[in-house]
């Protein structure tokens, strides 16, 4: 299955990571090299993991479960909304409230307090 090619990813600049001094050490295994103070992402790993993610989402939706689209950067806000609406999914394309998923109990109580 070839959903993406290295050429397509290169053309869109997916390989450009963060500045070397602002990197997250947890990303080390996904960094191919460094050029001019910028990390270059390993596109072969990117493609492999993208295909895994694609299969996971496909199977999740096929089994009747929901998917949440999240993209809060200005460049992707419109696309996130359009694609989520196109497939009837929920989405967040503005500010993400920290703890929405990982601390939902507290968030839920605050929502209930606002309703009361």
Q: Model pTM?
A: 0.73
Measured CA to CA, the distance from residue 39 to residue 43 in angstroms comes to: 12
Q: What is the pLDDT of residue 53?
A: 95
pLDDT tens digits along 75-107: 999 999 999 999 999 999 999 888 888 998 988
**pLDDT higher than threshold 90 for residue 2:** no
């Amino acid at each position: 299955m070839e959903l993406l090619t290295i050429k397509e990813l290169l053309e869109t600049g997916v390989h450009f990571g963060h500045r070397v001094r602002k990197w997250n050490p947890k990303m080390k295994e996904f960094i191919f090299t460094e050029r001019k103070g910028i990390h270059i992402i390993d596109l072969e790993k990117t493609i492999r993991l993208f295909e895994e993610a694609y299969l996971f989402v496909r199977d999740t939706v096929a089994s009747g479960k929901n998917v949440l689209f999240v993209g809060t950067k200005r460049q992707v806000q419109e696309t996130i909304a359009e694609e989520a609406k196109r497939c009837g999914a929920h989405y967040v394309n503005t500010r993400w409230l920290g703890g929405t998923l990982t601390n939902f109990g507290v968030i839920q109580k605050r929502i209930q307090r606002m309703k009361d």
